[in-house]
Amino acid sequence: MIKAVLFDLDGTILDTVPDIQACVNDMLRRHGYPEIDYAHTCAYVGDGAKMLIERALPKGVPDLDACYEDFRTHFAASKNELTRLYPDETEVLESLKAKGIRLGVVTNKPQDAAENVLRQFFPAGFFDFVGGDSGMFPCKPDPSLARYAALTLRVAPAACAFVGDGETDAKVALGAGMCGISVLWGYRTRIRLEEAGATRFAASFKELQKILEKIC
């Protein structure tokens, strides 16, 4: 029986790529490098901010670390004016909470940036756990942060569902011994998710709710 649902953030509970692209391109302009388009931004997200910046920059640039720190500083303070919730999301999440299901966020987004954007779209305390890249754990697909989330929520990993749009999320679910559900409204294709080991798929929040109702 599922007692907690852990969500990825970017591409799962918030459509953040437009703001990520804007912040990356602001940094690239400040440092004199070519900007990236929406498609490349979608392809580059999912493995943490440092990897995002490394992918966005031309290979071999001498100021990678400076560019990363520049991006992180501005990204953490972003107003996220282009970010959006997904259809039916609020209704579904509130329904899960009403049933006593604990909700958490496990993301490769920097911790301060994750907390900042969640404050802008959800009431204080809406999520029972928020874990991002704080330096305490390796980034996904390492399952350590997901396991720590379960421990913090006092829920066995087997009683957790892990919901995400990326290959890293599918791998975390497998590695942490959680029930993995891959969503198809994010930034990866079903084929890529299947290649990462995903076996359950939801095309909308309503469909996700039906899947969870069967296993909760």
pLDDT at 216 over 90: no
Which residue ranges does the chain devote to CATH 1.10.150?
17-76
Cis peptide bond prior to 141, omega within 30° of 0? yes
Contact 82, 75 (CB under 8 A): no
CATH number for the domain running over 4-15+83-215? 3.40.50.1000
Instruction: Give pLDDT tens digits for 10-67.
Output: 999 999 999 999 999 999 999 999 999 999 999 999 999 999 999 999 999 999 999 9
How distant, in Å, are the alpha carbons of 75, 89, 142, 196, 197 from that of 178? 31, 22, 13, 15, 13
- pLDDT class for 93, splitting at 50, 70, 90? very high
Residues recognised as catalytic:
8
Q: Give me the helix-helix angle, 64-76 and 49-56, nearest 10°.
A: 120
* Dist. CA 204–CA 161, nearest whole Å: 16
Which single residue is written with the structure tokens 């990204």? 75
Which residue ranges does the chain devote to CATH 3.40.50.1000?
4-15+83-215
Helix (H, G, I), strand (E, B) or coil at 190: helix
Mean pLDDT of the chain: 96
The number of angstroms, rounded, from the C-alpha of 36 to the middle of its chain's C-alpha atoms is: 21
* Dist. CA 94–CA 126, nearest whole Å: 9
54, containing H or E segment: helix 49-56
Q: Note the pLDDT of residue 215.
A: 83
CATH 1.10.150 fits 17-76, yes or no: yes
Q: Give me the helix-helix angle, 64-76 and 111-121, nearest 10°.
A: 30
Instruction: Give pLDDT tens digits for 125-163.
Output: 999 999 999 999 999 999 999 999 999 999 999 999 999
* Dist. CA 167–CA 97, nearest whole Å: 27
- pLDDT class for 84, splitting at 50, 70, 90? very high
